[in-house]
Structures are given as C-alpha cells and as structure tokens.
Structure 1
C-alpha cells in the first residue's frame, strides 16, 4: 500500500500554526494516561495469574531485552536523531523531499532491524545468559523458559521500532494523539493473552510472550491509515547514501547511549537481581511500573511535545523562544513530578496492595516491592528532568554531549550497584539508579546553562514557594488518612479501592486548592 503522490503544494508539507504546548502536552498526557492505566490493569492481571515467582521472572527478562533494544532503536536514539532532521526538512523543504526522506529511512531502518531480529531469535540462549546470568548459572529451568519466550518476544523489536518511526512522523506533524494512544493496544493484547490464551499452553506464561508478538503487529497496522492521510505512508527504499539518512545515522550512533542510560541502568538492575532471591526481578518490575506512571504520562508527554518545537526553533534560529520552551518544560515537570514523587513515597504499600495484592501476589511481595518503589520515587524528578533536558541537545543535533554525560552516569550507576546491592539487596539497585539519574540530570542542566542556550526565566522563586507549600499540605493530608501497611494488606479489594480513591482525590484537591489560594492561575501554565 502506498500513499498518494506527494506534492510540494500540499498544505501538510508546510508547518501549520503552532499549537499550544500546554494543550498538546495535555492531549498526549490524557492518551498516555489511558495507556498507563491499562498498563496497570495488565500488571494486575499478570500479578494475579503469575505472581512474582520464577515464571514471572522469566517473562519479565524475555520482555525486557527487546523492550530495551526498542528504546534504543525506536523511542530512544532513533527518534531523538530522526525528529530534528525531519523537522528541519518540514520547515525548509517541500513535501516531496520529506516523503523521500521518510521512504529511505524506513527502508534502511527496516533492513537493519530485520538483521538484528534474526540474530536475536537465533541467539536467544546467549542473550538470556548475558542479561540474566543468575538464571543460567543457578536455575536452568527458569533460564530455558526465558530462552523459549525470548524467541517469541524478540521480533517485537522490529514491529515496534517501525511503529515508533510512524509515531515520530505523526508527532513531527503535530498528530500527537495517535502515537500516544498506540501503547493501549499492547496492554489490551497482554491482558487478553493472560486471561484467554494461557490455558492453551503447557507453560501458561508462554501466552504472554505470544501476546507481545501480536501486540507489535497490531500497533504497526493501527498507525498506517493516519500516515496515509498526511501523505507520508512510507514506501520503503534503501538509502544509506542519502544525505538525510547519513545525518540521522551520524546523530543516532552516539545517542544510543546518551538517551537510553536509564534503560541500560534498569537492565543492569535485572542482571544483578537475577543473582538475588527469587522474586527480586519481579519486585523491581512492579515498583518500576508504578514509578513509570507519572514519568510516562507527564515527563515523556512533555518531552514528546517539545522536541519538534525545539527543533523548529533551532532551525529558525529563535534562541529566546528555545530557552523559554525549556524553562516552561522544567516548570511543568516540577508541577507534576514533585507531588507524584511525594505520593509514591507516602503511599508505597497502599498503592501496591490496591493494584497487585491478589492471587499469587503475597504480603511479602508487597512489602519488598514497596521498598524499591520508595527508592525509585526519590529519583522521579531526576528521571523526568532527563526526559525534558535531553531534547535541548538533540533538537540542536548535538548527540556528543549527552552521550558523554550518559556514559559517565552509567559508570557511576554500575559502581553504586556493586556498593549498595550487598547491604540493601534489590533496594540498593533501585537507589543506585536514582542517584545516577540525579547526576545525569544535573550535568545536562549545567551543559545547557554553560552553552548559553538555556537561561532561567523570571518568577522561579515564587513558583518554588507555591510548590513547597502545596506539597507540604498534601503530604500532611496523606499521612493523616493513609493508615498502616498491615491495614491495607487486610482490606478486601473494594475497601482498598475506596480508600485509595479518597486519598488520591483528596490529595489532588488539596494540592490544587493551595496552588490556587497562593495565586497560581491557568495562564501561568501556558507557554
């Protein structure tokens, strides 16, 4: 299937009037919230059917390997290299040139991914041994199960990376809703596989691996009609010698490390956790999933929206607007990230009990996962800052600086892992990730200030005072009503859901009321 013949006179080939960054971020956030809520439903279902035992550990390893590579090839290095170049083409060239770039990128990326996928499927035993050596050395049955599932899950890399290519094109043309909605299909596929397909397998957890493969196919097909509507549905062609493709590859290679440091750190956590007691991989997974909820809904939403905007401002040499956009993004991160982190710290056990304490998930699993959740929560602001500061480099087609910072932070994380794992077990791995994230974010911010592309706008002191007071009032409310972990473990499902709704709704209301009482208005949130 091919798109209509491109024309340099099509309106889609010209940048339309820019939408409000707040409105676009809210749209992406709403769609992502839907996806993340369904992701939590998925995790509830998986926890109910498989708990935190050896089969769940094996699946999480088999899913994490292609997921990690996906973030390198797709949302990570590729999108950060592709979007600035595509935005430049969109601003300075006609639609025919944009279509030619898209075709050649799709063909070149597709060929590379096809080769990598074939190697991954054939080399599944080696990959499982590398990423979970504890399974290989100490638990042959868990290792063999992980290998078998990896052969199903690895082709997801090819499918989801092409989906991410499609999403990058749509985001560059301010069609944010479709790419943000697409992950919903992964969650629906895994929920369906866990409920209806698992009885069909001798090893029920294999249904989840097949569900991943189905999800990749559905997600790619879903975006194609929307690409066709803007006349940019790719007709894949090899183009390694194309000037645009060369620039993307040049930007992508160093970005493989720079933008994906947090994912590399999480994989290192999985590797080391495979040597710890059974359940450690799953405890880290469930706690990371909760920490990822505000990160994905707000941090990644803001980053998704500002990257094309920053890229166009750089192409147009609008330095002041570039700086103001970054400043706005950091304020939004603080507005959302700080209360989210505080809530995760205070409500770790209640949240985990409400979402996962059913079926095979035990009291002990909730307690252990809550410990690592608090460690991740301490780093939530840093994780979100990395997401919005990195585009300040990639939008200017500077991938060398973030990669230097990323490698340094990753080395520090590895050292901290080895230091903290002995006294703190799996919690030490989460804490090391948090500390290295703060280092990463701090160095990214320092670099932007030093290069003069970012400067603090007026009003930060007032903003921080409002944030501080609102968060203190919210924390006091949560501590007053939260109760003890033992109470939450003894509640039935409806008691947990009702009590959690009161805590979340009341905490959010107090936070917003205090902000309003101290003078914050909607106009202060607009860029």
Structure 2
C-alpha cells in the first residue's frame, strides 16, 4: 500500500472536515463574535474535547492499535475479534462511569478550567453547556475504538470522514436550532451531541462488513473476565502513561484556558478562533501521517523489521517539513487576511481580528513542532515504549508553564499561544533525539542538510509572496466586499504555493522520494 496515497486519502477527508470546521467557526463568529457567551461555550466544549483526546484519540489509540496489530499479525483475525470484544466491554462501562461523574461534578470541572470567570452568569452558562455536551465523550470514545479497528485493517477513509459529521451537526445547530432557542448558544451544544451520535452510527456498517463489530458484555461475569484478560491489562498498562505522554499539549491548553479566563473578555475565544486555523494544517498533515504510520510501524516492529520502521519515520518527518514549513509561514505573515476573510463579519469586530491575528502569529512559531510530535510519537508507541514520551512530556509541561510565567504578563493571550508553540518545539526536538539514539533516524546527515537547504529557499520565496499580499490590501476595509476579500486571499495563497513548489522543482527537489510503500 502506498503510504502517501493513504495519507492523501485521510488528508482529503480531514480537509473536508476542517473546511466545514472553518464554516462553523465563521458562523459562530458572525452570530456571537468574541463574547462572554462564546467564552462559555469554548470552555464547555474544551472539557469533553480534553477527555476525548486523553482517553480516546490519544492514549487509547496509541495503546490499542499496536497491540491489535501485533495480535492480528501473530494470531489472526479470530484472536483479534476476542481482543476487540474485551476492550469494547471495558471501554463502554468505564465511559458510562466517567460521563455520570462528569455530569454530576460539572461545576467543579468548569471551576478547574476557567476559575477566572468574573460573571456568575457566564460560569453558570458554562456549567449547563458542559452538562449538555459531556456525553459526547462517550460517543467519540467508542468512535475511536471503531477507528482503531478500521485503521488497523487499512480502512482509513471512514474514520477520517467521521469528524465531518460533528461539524455538520454544529452547523445545523447554529443555523436552525440557535435562532429558535431563548438561549441561542444551546443550539451549538445540541449540535455537538447530534454530530457525536452520527459519527458512531456511521462506523457500524463498515465494522459489520469486516466482521469486527464489537460485542459489549453486559453481565458481571463477562465484565470480570474482560478485566482479567492479559492483553487488556497490557493496553491499560500502556494507556496509563500514554494519557499523559500524548496529551501534554492538551493539558497545557487547559491550563492556558484557565489563565485566559483571568484576562480580558474574549481572550478564550480569540485563542479558540486562532486554534481552529492552526489545527487546519495540523490535522491535514500531522493527524493524517500519524494515522497511516502507526499501523505500519506497529506491524514492522512486531515483525522485528526495524530498518523499515526507521524508513517510515524518516518519510513522515520529511513530508512534515515539506508541507508544514509553508503553513507555519502562512500563519505568521498572512494571519490578518486569513482572520478577516473567515471571521470578520457580524459581531466579530476589527479588534477581534487584531487579537486573533497576533495569536495566529504565535501559533505559527510552533506549528512545525506541533505536527512533528504527531509524526514522531508513533515511533515510540509502535515499540510499546511509553516511558520515554512520558519523561519528555513532564519536562515539556514544566517548560510550557515557565514560558507562560514569563510571557503572559507582557503579551497577554498571545503569550499563551506562544508558550504552546515553544513547548511543542521542545517536545518534537526531544522525541527526535530519542529516536536518533535508538537508531531510527537513518537518513544521512548530508542528505538532511541538502533537504533543509532546499526547503528554506522554497519557504523564503513563499513568505515573500505572502508578505507582499498581506500588506498590499487593506483587509479590514474589504469587509464591504466579502467575496472579493475571500477571492483575493485565495489568489495570494495559491500564488504563494505555486511559487513554493516551482522553486523546489527548479533547485532539484525530488518529489518522487515520498512515494513510499508499506509492507
């Protein structure tokens, strides 16, 4: 199977999801601006999102997929089906308990995430919104189980498509439910729940086709037997440290949200709007490459083919720099055109644009690091090595909060975004060193030097074009002609991309090197 083709398929589905995500954010910005109401929603949505990334997409996937791949490689599909049933039983009942506790103790959770809300109404609104959306963690975690099964069997398209349904649910909530409710923001929360339910339902027919639909045990004896299963214990043993290792940036994000709640009204929302744009390239590349790499790496390590594993990681790193470098420059120098074209409507003011733009620039500093972490981490998880990323994660969390302590008093919410980027770069650098010491990095130093020199030259030309475009027009005044502004933004972006790849081609960059096949 061609890894680039697989990554492109996942990326195309992710792109559709992110485009709809940007449409969603544009609708929210137009209807609610950056207000106490959007701050409340973003805080409420962040709680189930954090748990989703901690227990589902993050720790669970990184622990479950390598062991499922190993089981499938060594013992075949029948044993794999047994493992799936055991894991689904444990996951279902654990999620039910988490959701019940989360709904009961919501006020304390909101206080933990956003202790700085000065307005009691904003706090109470966050509590209600969180209670509406908290069961989403149940839906999306079971979706993650299904995605792990499908990805292990090289069925990447369906799991990559499911986030589209969440965005559609929220868009419908904003367009059709919100105007009919006395508190319109509730429409978004209901849309989240609808989207989560649809994400789960979509996966069922494909699991049935594979003969891998999980069977959840409901009797005490079945649950007790599942808890005693040796492979399930291995997954749980890996999950514990992986909860922290995978989600350092998410833990930092929660801390940052709390700090932002103590800053000017709108700070949480400005960071959220900037984060949405930053996640566009992160998901398109980092999530896509990480998704297709982990099963192939797990299979290579299970077969003790460490040479292939090293080549796979190197392929992912080079692809990251090829795509993420211009994306980082775009966030840094082209932030205002992006923010105005997507958000500068309705209640979203020019001040909101300025505050979102500086947050985007700060995120641009760390974008490559954020994506590299998603590509490098599977190199450890595929070997079932969780301890090393945990140690790195502890150090990175400390450095991120040290950066907050230094930067926030001077840069306010921008300092929070910058600290996330600095932490991600440190994280990626340390993961890189760890893989290098294990002999995974087999790409010759001379080749790396030549590769980076070409990327720097191409990115330099790309940045010049975007810098000129960002300063050539008055993007704020173009609010009177929104279609013209969007077309100009797309034209400058397309022109810069063309210049980038043309420059690389002229100086002899070999794109065919990325046509790698897994085995």
TM-score scaled to structure 2, two decimals? 0.96
Q: Distance in 2 between matches of 1:200 and 1:502?
A: 38
Q: Is the 8 A contact 2:313 2:440 kept in 1?
A: no
Deviation, 1:488, is 3.6
Q: Note the alpha carbon deviations across 1:451-476, whole angstroms, 9 max, x for none.
A: 22333346222221221111111112
Partner of 1:343: 330
> Is it true that 1:111 corresponds to 2:88 in the alignment?
no
Q: Distance in 2 between matches of 1:88 and 1:520?
A: 37
Partner of 1:276: 263
Tell me, which stretches of 5 or more residues in structure 2 are unaligned? 218-222
Partner of 1:405: 392
Partner of 2:144: 164
Change (3 A) 1:439 1:86: same
Partner of 1:469: 457
Partner of 1:6: none
SS of the residue 2:242 aligns to: helix
Tell me, which stretches of 5 or more residues in structure 1 are unaligned? 1-18
Q: Distance in 1 between matches of 2:329 and 2:282?
A: 14
Partner of 2:377: 390
Change (3 A) 1:489 1:90: farther
Q: Distance in 2 between matches of 1:262 and 1:455?
A: 28
> Is it true that 1:454 corresponds to 2:469 in the alignment?
no
Q: Note the alpha carbon deviations across 1:169-196, whole angstroms, 9 max, x for none.
A: 1011110000000000000000000010
Partner of 1:126: 108
Partner of 2:157: 177
Q: Is the 8 A contact 1:349 1:485 kept in 2?
A: no
Q: Note the alpha carbon deviations across 1:339-386, whole angstroms, 9 max, x for none.
A: 100111111011000000011100000000111110011100000111
> Is it true that 1:228 corresponds to 2:208 in the alignment?
yes
SS of the residue 1:202 aligns to: coil
Q: Is the 8 A contact 2:336 2:475 kept in 1?
A: no
SS of the residue 1:203 aligns to: coil
Partner of 1:64: 46
Q: Is the 8 A contact 2:66 2:384 kept in 1?
A: yes
Structure 1 moving runs of 4+ over 3 Å: 484-491
Q: Is the 8 A contact 1:363 1:489 kept in 2?
A: no
Q: Distance in 2 between matches of 1:459 and 1:169?
A: 37
Partner of 1:429: 416
Q: Is the 8 A contact 1:357 1:489 kept in 2?
A: no
> Is it true that 1:95 corresponds to 2:83 in the alignment?
no
Partner of 2:66: 84
Partner of 1:359: 346
Q: Distance in 2 between matches of 1:54 and 1:127?
A: 18
Q: 479-488 vs 313-322, which deviates more? A: 479-488
Deviation, 1:519, is 2.0
Partner of 1:418: 405
**Over aligned residues, Cα RMSD in angstroms?**
1.2
Q: Distance in 2 between matches of 1:316 and 1:244?
A: 18
> Is it true that 1:244 corresponds to 2:224 in the alignment?
no
SS of the residue 1:454 aligns to: coil
Q: Distance in 1 between matches of 2:323 and 2:64?
A: 28
1:324 to 306, 311, 318: 311
Q: Distance in 1 between matches of 2:442 and 2:426?
A: 20
> Is it true that 1:253 corresponds to 2:235 in the alignment?
no
Q: Distance in 2 between matches of 1:499 and 1:155?
A: 42
Q: Is the 8 A contact 1:163 1:220 kept in 2?
A: yes
TM-score scaled to structure 1, two decimals? 0.94
Deviation, 1:421, is 1.1
SS of the residue 1:398 aligns to: coil
> Is it true that 1:509 corresponds to 2:498 in the alignment?
yes
Deviation, 1:72, is 0.7
SS of the residue 2:116 aligns to: helix
